[in-house]
Structure 1
Amino acid sequence: MKDLKNKTAFITGAASGLGLGIAKACAKEGMNIIIADFRQEAIDEVLPLFKENGWPVHGIRLDVTDREAYVRAADEAEAVFGNIHLLVNNAGIGHTEGKIWETGYEDIDFFININYTSILNGIKTILPRILKHGEGGHVVSTSSKNGLIPLSGMVLYNSTKRAVMAIMETLAIDLEGTGVGASVFCPGPFQTNLGKTTDELRKKHLGSPYPPADMSRMRKMRENMPKFEPGSLERSPDEAGERVVRGIKRGDLFILTHAEWKKGWEAHAAAVTRAFPDEVPNEVFMQVFSRNVANPIYDTQTQVPAFKK
């Protein structure tokens, strides 16, 4: 979807952080913006920014785990701006959980419902409407660098974000020839209030925020790190939004940031490659299961140039 002007974007988790950065970048392209977020006060705080800039905007309070509310939100968005063309599944949570075997089942379900099932809720609700109007469109879902390279103590976050990648890679295959694209956004560290919103959501769903995380391991790790100011290495959400818009217009399957993690991904890919047994492939098998052997969807991803700030 190269031309975004006068199209409508439905963005979840859009009242702050990465979602707000994406919303602003889409607005600068001339899109109508639906800011969907579970915090009405946060929506109310950001709406004036859009209106002052003359950007068409409408806020909808939405809990992305509530399927009936999602349908009502989509109906409201269409009543305000007409057809939806871009769905950005950005709402999510993040927390250093610690040891998974010590994590309660309620937190497991909490993570899965918000970071995984809500992505499916968005796709099930919005995508059929995009396909029906036939004007083309795009779906973006926010994963994480952790979906590419997992970190210790974050089984739920890592695994749900890896699952988002699988959803979007499969969706890209299933949408071939429809005029609707699909991208997965895997950001590294950006300036967001993810911890705060995660605690607010946990209190809403489970009755209390997370207890304070044990940071002793992190402090120990930082003893051997170069000195830096906390937060100084995190990038602006506005940059994240511009990168996402560029990825949509380019038709990228993967929208990545932080080239610093390329080495880690290459190590991951190399380890998987070495794990395949050193055997002669069966040529008939390769032809019968050709899309499993080498899916052509990956050939569509071209080299992404350096981002110009």
Structure 2
Amino acid sequence: MSNEFMGKTAIISGAAGGIGLALAEALGKQGMNIVMGDIDIQALAVSRQLLLDKGVNVLACELDVTDFKQWQDVVARAKDTYGKIHMVINNAGVGGIPGKIEDTEHETWRWVMDVNVMGVLYGAQACVPAIKEHGEGGWIVNVASMAGMLGMPYAGAYCASKAAVVSMTESWAVELKSHNIHVSALCPAFVKTRIHESHRNRQPKYAVAQENRQDKKKLQAGANAATIAVESGIPAGVLAQRVLEALKSKQTYIYTHPNYRKVTSGRSQAIDNAFVDAQDSPVVGHLINEDIVTF
């Protein structure tokens, strides 16, 4: 059956498993050509064959999202194979290592920010020109998290990175609207993936010297807590169906867990209360009647 995705091409980072693979399968079933990118080439080969066996058109490419040149190579291969690119899903991400402010190594922060933030930027910069050039419009889906909507203790790097992804999405949604490129931030709560094991693919350039590592017991305790949380999550396939549903209705924020509305509502109320306090302030209250500057 014809639909808006039929015959179009999607590039998905982190597509060898979890959310990326589930989205690849769901979009493939809609008739899209799927370009799978992942740093884990062994898992990528297995997942590629899985989709091929299900009749999906698949191109698999090794991709470290922190390397812009690799992104450019993936785009070039996708265009050579399928002609046009219509969608990029910036899915690849890492969870970092839970820890106190003073205990989290700078290398861990760089790893999380480079993968979760710069990887999204590189994906957009590599793919947007290719989407613009055919003039048919398209989609950008940036995988953020509920953690991007409200910070969590001991997860500063992860929360900061996902908040950045939400903000980038909001900026690009306005910027690309005139090009008919719809931009969404996917903000799930816990999903059954292997993000709590993301250290398995930690690149050598982000290695931490052994003598500077946190106490192993603390690391293990954090890992155990993350495992319990992730394994309690929804199946990735359910998330993928929700993404399809939300893309068809052009949602900017794609939520998968309606029970978390109380969390964002509480944050919104706190922000509103802070504005009331500013309005009542003898120092800045007079600015209430000033024009709002927009771009």
Tell me whether the two structures share a fold, i.e. TM-score over 0.5: yes
Amino acid at match of 1:120: L
Amino acid at match of 1:285: E
2:267 is equivalent to residue 268 of structure 1:
yes
Amino acid at match of 1:144: S
Amino acid at match of 2:199: D
Return the offset for 1:175.
1.1
**Partner of residue 100, structure 1:** 101
2:218 is equivalent to residue 215 of structure 1:
no
**Partner of residue 301, structure 1:** none
Structure 2 unaligned regions, length at least 5: none
**Partner of residue 205, structure 1:** 205
Q: How has the CA–CA distance of structure 1 residues 217 and 36 changed in structure 2, closer, same or farther, with 3 Å as cutoff?
A: closer
Q: Distance in 1 between matches of 2:175 and 2:223?
A: 43
SS, match of residue 202 in structure 2:
helix
Structure-2-length-normalised TM-score: 0.88
Return the offset for 1:95.
3.1
**Partner of residue 117, structure 2:** 116
Return the offset for 1:282.
5.2
SS, match of residue 58 in structure 1:
strand
Return the offset for 1:234.
1.4
Residues matched between the structures, number: 279
**Partner of residue 285, structure 1:** 290
Return the offset for 1:42.
0.7
Q: Distance in 2 between matches of 1:256 and 1:34?
A: 25
Q: Distance in 2 between matches of 1:72 and 1:66?
A: 10
Return the offset for 1:111.
1.2
Map Cα deviations across residues 210-246 of structure 1 (whole Å, 9 max, x no partner): 8562528987xxxxxxxxx876631111111111122
Q: Distance in 1 between matches of 2:257 and 2:163?
A: 18
Q: How has the CA–CA distance of structure 1 residues 123 and 232 changed in structure 2, closer, same or farther, with 3 Å as cutoff?
A: closer
Q: Where does 1:104-183 land on structure 2 (aligned, <5 Å)? A: 104-183=105-184
Return the offset for 1:203.
4.9
Q: Distance in 1 between matches of 2:222 and 2:199?
A: 21
Return the offset for 1:80.
1.1
Q: Distance in 1 between matches of 2:107 and 2:135?
A: 41
Q: Distance in 1 between matches of 2:70 and 2:265?
A: 41
**Partner of residue 298, structure 1:** none
Q: Distance in 2 between matches of 1:80 and 1:243?
A: 29
Map Cα deviations across residues 87-117 of structure 1 (whole Å, 9 max, x no partner): 0000010034211222222111111111111
Map Cα deviations across residues 114-151 of structure 1 (whole Å, 9 max, x no partner): 11111110111101110111111010000001011221
**Partner of residue 243, structure 1:** 242
SS, match of residue 55 in structure 1:
coil
Q: Distance in 2 between matches of 1:232 and 1:91?
A: 19
Q: How has the CA–CA distance of structure 1 residues 203 and 137 changed in structure 2, closer, same or farther, with 3 Å as cutoff?
A: closer
Return the offset for 1:285.
2.4
Percent of aligned pairs with the same amino acid: 27
Q: Distance in 1 between matches of 2:138 and 2:126?
A: 14
Structure-1-length-normalised TM-score: 0.84
Q: How has the CA–CA distance of structure 1 residues 281 and 178 changed in structure 2, closer, same or farther, with 3 Å as cutoff?
A: farther
Pick 1 or 2: higher relative contact order, CA cutoff 8 A, min separation 6. Answer: 1
Q: Distance in 1 between matches of 2:168 and 2:286?
A: 28
Q: Distance in 2 between matches of 1:14 and 1:218?
A: 25
Q: How has the CA–CA distance of structure 1 residues 216 and 138 changed in structure 2, closer, same or farther, with 3 Å as cutoff?
A: closer
Bigger mean CA deviation after superposition, 232-241 or 206-215:
206-215
Q: How has the CA–CA distance of structure 1 residues 134 and 153 changed in structure 2, closer, same or farther, with 3 Å as cutoff?
A: same
